[in-house]
């Protein structure tokens, strides 16, 4: 079992390595059953060069990932009272899950998705403006991870991955 205090130290290395694997991969047909009918019936173009591309893509799209929980896009308007500013913060958030996560664990985590989103919003609003200037967003990711780990959800979350992060001043 991984505790939140250990997670903070592992988050950077794990989140980059785990999220790099988000691109769907083709698995052998034996793992996913037969290829869908339309992909199997599609004629191959060329002399064998293009055969099988449709079947591999169709089989890969049927696989549900259980090592990453997508929390979606966030658009937050935050007032920084100490700096007399209002900012719009946009980002997409993914939670990196343990390799021991089972499909049943993943389904349980899906029921917590709105609570995870709420905790992410609280963490972003409580962050200092200097945290947004860090290119790797280390402290912000740590704040989100700590807030999410406070919930009594199954302890399968080992990292946080932020994408498309942007902060704009509102005039």
Domain residue ranges of the chain, discontinuous segments joined by +: 4-22+65-169, 29-61
Q: What is the mean pLDDT of residues 84-92?
A: 92
0.75 exceeded by the pTM?
no
What fold does the segment set 4-22+65-169 form as a domain?
Answer: Tetrahydropterin Synthase; Chain A (3.30.479)
Other CB atoms closer than 10 Å to residue 135's CB: what's the count? 6
Burial of 23: CB neighbours in 10 Å, binned 0-12, 13-18, 19+? exposed
Q: What is the pLDDT of residue 3?
A: 43
Which tens digits make up the pLDDT trace of 95-149?
999 999 999 999 999 999 999 999 999 999 999 888 998 999 999 999 999 999 9
Return mean pLDDT, the chain. 74
Residue pointed to by tokens 């999220």: 19
Q: What is the pLDDT of residue 44?
A: 45
């Amino acid at each position: 079992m991984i505790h939140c205090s250990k997670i903070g130290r592992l988050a950077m290395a794990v989140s980059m390595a785990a999220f790099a694997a988000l691109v769907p991969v083709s698995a052998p047909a034996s793992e996913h059953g037969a290829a869908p009918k339309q992909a199997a019936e599609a004629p191959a173009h060329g002399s064998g060069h293009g055969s099988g591309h449709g079947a591999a893509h169709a089989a890969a799209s049927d696989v549900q990932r259980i090592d990453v929980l997508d929390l979606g896009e966030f658009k937050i308007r935050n007032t920084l009272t100490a700096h007399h500013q209002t900012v719009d913060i946009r980002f997409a958030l993914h939670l990196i899950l343990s390799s021991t996560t089972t499909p049943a664990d993943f389904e349980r985590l899906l029921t917590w998705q709105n609570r995870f989103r709420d905790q992410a919003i609280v963490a972003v609003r409580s962050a200092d403006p200097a945290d947004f200037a860090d290119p790797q967003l280390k402290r912000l990711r740590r704040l989100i991870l700590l807030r999410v780990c406070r919930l009594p959800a199954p302890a399968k979350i080992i990292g946080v991955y932020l994408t498309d992060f942007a902060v704009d001043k509102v005039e």
